[in-house]
């Protein structure tokens, strides 16, 4: 039986350096894992990976690309401590030059061909800050200066791999926020619509169709005993995802009342030309269903779970 592929989120913190014998970033990441790991697995089928990064340029050079390759994460959040920070500070960009301060091994990086490059995340960090501030666990702000030390260096190396799925968060030291508050702030960031934009699957059920982003309506699915009982809820999901689907024009509901009897590939109908192909497969029947709608401009994957949640995402743009 085919299993749902578990997706990963990677969150890193730093080891000790200078006066930070106990690094507030790593303590916050560990606490965040305690409060969020089970929730991410249960609600979103997402595995949380945390890792402590030593304050060593050479280690960052090798390990950051390895993390992307090893886990292929939905997104990666790097967390570092800043003695100057008075709130959670989400960095917008990172420079490829100016790293003269030595690491804990008394080394500094060689400046290569990327030395004049400045990379910015494509995640809407301003929107993330707004959402964190609404929850009032702690304050958050945006910064364009990540400090030109291991924090910014790590961010730059990660942005080189994937600008769409990377952010860096500077957290204040223990005298500003206790670890528990900082961890709640990190949880708010991971749960943000903006942090999950353009990922598969989107953590909060945000999907992209055409030019805009729309929140998937949360649907109480209850505990159906068969896929037939899930049909009404699935129809609602399809009505949300594809305009005009609520009037019976298109999708093979007209000819397949029970999804268990439907073929896996369904050809487009004359009344519904915007959908090229609809496919679905059930996972761990009857509790989970994945529907894929292939349109001329993108593919939308809908994951319907019997535990009252749906996950939608734009999987890929088509040429």
Identify the band that residue 111 occupies on the pLDDT scale cut at 50, 70 and 90. low
**What pLDDT score does 217 carry?**
32
The DSSP H or E segment spanning 50 is strand 46-53
State how far the Cα of 187 lies from the Cα of 185, in Å rounded to an integer.
Answer: 5
What number is the average pLDDT over the span 80-84? 95
Greater model confidence, 295 or 58: 58
pLDDT of 277 above 50: no
State how far the Cα of 11 lies from the Cα of 179, in Å rounded to an integer.
Answer: 16
Q: Are 310 and 290 in contact (CB under 8 A)?
A: no
pLDDT of 16 above 70: yes
Tokens coding 227: 């896929």
**What pLDDT score does 85 carry?**
95
Residue keyed to tokens 């957290």: 171
Residue 74: phi and psi, rounded to 5, are -60, -45
Which has the minimum average pLDDT: 4-13, 183-192, 199-208, 289-298? 199-208
Greater model confidence, 4 or 245: 4
Q: Are 151 and 168 in contact (CB under 8 A)?
A: yes
Helix (H, G, I), strand (E, B) or coil at 248: coil
What percent of the chain has a predicted confidence (pLDDT) above 70? Answer: 57
pLDDT of 222 above 90: no
Which has the minimum average pLDDT: 124-133, 148-157, 193-202, 235-244? 235-244
State how far the Cα of 164 lies from the Cα of 151, in Å rounded to an integer.
Answer: 18
This prediction has a pTM of 0.62
pLDDT of 70 above 90: yes
CA distances from 254 to 185, 234, 285, 304 (A): 47, 14, 23, 20
Greater model confidence, 252 or 180: 180
**What pLDDT score does 244 carry?**
36
Which residues participate in catalysis according to the annotation?
91, 151, 170
- What is the length of the chain? 319
Q: Which has the closest alpha carbon to 218: 107, 85, 309, 305?
A: 309
Tell me the H-state helices in 50-178: 57-71, 125-135, 150-161
C-alpha gyration radius of the chain: 22
**What pLDDT score does 67 carry?**
96
Identify the band that residue 191 occupies on the pLDDT scale cut at 50, 70 and 90. confident
- DSSP state for residue 17 in the 8-state scheme: B
User: Is the peptide bond prior to 286 cis by the omega test (within 30 degrees of 0)?
Assistant: yes
């Amino acid at each position: 039986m085919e299993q749902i592929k578990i997706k990963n989120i990677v969150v890193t913190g730093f080891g000790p350096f200078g006066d930070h014998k106990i690094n507030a970033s790593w303590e916050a990441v560990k606490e965040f894992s305690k409060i969020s790991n089970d929730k991410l697995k249960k609600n979103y089928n997402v595995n949380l990976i945390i890792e402590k990064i030593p304050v060593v340029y050479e280690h960052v050079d090798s390990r950051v690309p390895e993390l992307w390759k090893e886990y292929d994460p939905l997104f990666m959040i790097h967390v570092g401590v800043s003695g100057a920070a008075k709130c959670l500070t989400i960095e917008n960009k990172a420079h490829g030059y100016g790293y003269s301060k030595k690491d804990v091994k008394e080394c500094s990086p060689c400046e290569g061909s990327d030395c004049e490059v400045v990379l910015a995340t494509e995640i809407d960090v301003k929107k993330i800050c707004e959402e964190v501030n609404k929850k009032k666990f702690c304050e958050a702000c945006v910064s364009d200066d990540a400090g030109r030390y291991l924090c910014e260096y790590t961010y730059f190396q990660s942005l080189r791999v994937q600008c769409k799925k990377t952010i860096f968060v500077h957290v204040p030291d223990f005298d500003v926020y206790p670890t528990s508050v900082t961890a709640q702030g990190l949880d708010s960031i991971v749960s943000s619509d903006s942090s999950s934009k353009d990922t598969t699957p989107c953590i909060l059920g945000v999907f992209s169709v055409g030019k805009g982003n729309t929140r998937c309506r949360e649907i109480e699915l209850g505990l159906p005993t068969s896929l037939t009982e899930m049909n009404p809820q699935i129809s609602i999901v399809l009505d949300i995802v594809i305009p005009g689907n609520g009037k019976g024009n298109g999708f093979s509901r007209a000819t397949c009342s029970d999804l268990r009897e439907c073929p896996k590939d369904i050809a487009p109908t004359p009344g519904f030309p915007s959908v090229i192909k609809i496919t679905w497969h059930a996972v761990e029947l009857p509790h989970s269903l994945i529907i894929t709608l292939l349109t001329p401009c993108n593919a939308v994957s809908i994951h319907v779970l019997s535990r009252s949640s749906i996950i939608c995402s734009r999987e890929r743009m088509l040429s």
